[in-house]
Amino acid sequence: MSDTYPSISEQLTDVETARQEGRRKMEWARQHMPICEALREEFVADQPFAGERIGMAMHVEAKTAILVETLAAGGAEVAVTGCNPLSTHDDVSGALDAHESITSYAKRGVDDGEYYAAIEAVIDHEPTITVDDGMDLVAAIHEEYPELIDGIVGGAEETTTGVHRLRAMDADGALAYPVFAVNDTPMKRLFDNVHGTGESSLASIAMTTNLSWAGKIVVVAGFGHCGKGVARKAAGQNANVVVTEVEPRRALEAHMEGYDVLPMDEAAAVGEVFITTTGNRDVIVRDHFEQMRDGVILANAGHFDIEIDLDALADLAVDTYEARDGVQAYELEDGRRLNVVAEGRLVNLAAPISLGHPVEVMDQSFGVQAACVRELVENGEAYAPGVHDVPDELDREIAEIKLAAEGVEHDSLTDTQREYMDSWDHGT
């Protein structure tokens, strides 16, 4: 085990200044996270996590830091690292590491070796609960430290890609403890994936390139929840949206929404901005690069950097240079320039100016995360190893907290209505 990997505080040159800035970012986020605030108050009073060690691999920036502190406020010891080499804010990581119950190993710009060493450092804390975004922590525990599994109550997974991997692992009979599919809840998927990915991906691309959406032909690869959000928000900013899909019902849905639906082979020649959201590999490959227009922008909004085949692009290119901060230009033999944003890593978090999803939607996602951790501590033994849907009442609880904070009132079923909905014998 790597018991030598240093925490972020040991890696920063001016720790105090970094911590102050990180703390300032966190205070701003906190002010807009009423769900985490309400849960924190409950956890401070009840101390549900006393004696638990929570291991986390997530995008370590201000909003995530509020989740980490919320869990620590409930009595947990927390060890955290990043889930992407480019999404960490070192100042926030430093501020977290100053907390007496929190150790942060997250650092921006780590190479593969450091990334996994930091995950091992989290595992060194022998977590009793894991909170993951992308499943790298669960994978490392199962592959390298299976002896810890007996001591693990369960876990929670943030994102589509992670849940997909966990379900594959579960289907193979390889997942040895229960994990909640936080991503799949209404409070997460209908807001974070749709609005969060839509807004933050487009904002990051626009800020990084300083280019307009108006009148652009924007190709959105994948029409899942993330793709829907990106397509809708791009159309809302006056882009002409083209959707590519492999799933016939989703392709039809995109068509009926009024988008052009094309195979990538055809979309490649017409698009001006390409945004991948599929979660699958090899979505934009050599044949596509060969047809693209001069000056196109290529960006990925999926969890991993596998959707755009950058090896093939590097191979095709006769020259490559940093055109702007966060934009790498690849020049082809005939002079065309193809511009890749944020190294093809998830663009809403990995570009230099990226801030991740908006605060409000992360409050919801992290509210569900925190409620899942509480459920594991309270009722963990009720869940067998495998992927579990989050109990619907927990998701509703988070929605009610948010509605109350927004001052939105809503109706409840009457007893007669409830009886009617539960019965099968009220016909014509």
Which residues contact ligand RBV (rule: CB under 6 A)? 59, 61, 63-64, 133-134, 158-159, 192, 196, 303, 346, 349, 356-357, 362, 365
Q: Which is nearer to ligand RBV, 296 or 346 (CB)?
A: 346
3-state secondary structure of 276: strand
Q: Which is nearer to ligand RBV, 268 or 275 (CB)?
A: 275
- Structure token digits, residue 4: 């030598």
First to last CA, the chain: 68
- Tell the smallest beta-carbon distance from residue 413 to ligand RBV (Å): 31
The partner residues of 327 in beta bridges, in order of sequence, read 324, 341
- Consecutive H or E run containing 38: helix 34-46
| Pair 58, 88: CB distance under 8 Å | no
Q: Which is nearer to ligand RBV, 48 or 134 (CB)?
A: 134
Q: Which is nearer to ligand RBV, 110 or 268 (CB)?
A: 110
Name the residue among 149, 105, 143, 144 with its Cα closest to residue 126: 149
* Residue with token string 């109706």: 411
- Structure token digits, residue 93: 């990581």
- Tell the smallest beta-carbon distance from residue 303 to ligand RBV (Å): 4
- Tell the smallest beta-carbon distance from residue 96 to ligand RBV (Å): 13
Q: Which is nearer to ligand RBV, 94 or 196 (CB)?
A: 196
- Tell the smallest beta-carbon distance from residue 60 to ligand RBV (Å): 8
Burial of 63 (0-12, 13-18, 19+ CB in 10 A): buried
Q: Which is nearer to ligand RBV, 14 or 389 (CB)?
A: 389
- Tell the smallest beta-carbon distance from residue 376 to ligand RBV (Å): 19
Burial 159-180, CB ≥16 within 10 A → b, else e? bbbbbbbbbebbeeeebbbbbb
Burial of 102 (0-12, 13-18, 19+ CB in 10 A): buried
- Tell the smallest beta-carbon distance from residue 351 to ligand RBV (Å): 12
- Tell the smallest beta-carbon distance from residue 46 to ligand RBV (Å): 26
Cα–Cα distance, 297 to 273 (Å, whole number): 5
Q: Find the residue with minimal CB distance to ligand RBV.
A: 356
Cα–Cα distance, 340 to 330 (Å, whole number): 8
Q: Which is nearer to ligand RBV, 63 or 108 (CB)?
A: 63
Q: Which is nearer to ligand RBV, 52 or 61 (CB)?
A: 61
- Tell the smallest beta-carbon distance from residue 154 to ligand RBV (Å): 19
Provide the CA 158 distance to its chain's centre, in angstroms. 6
Cα–Cα distance, 292 to 269 (Å, whole number): 5
Burial of 380 (0-12, 13-18, 19+ CB in 10 A): middle
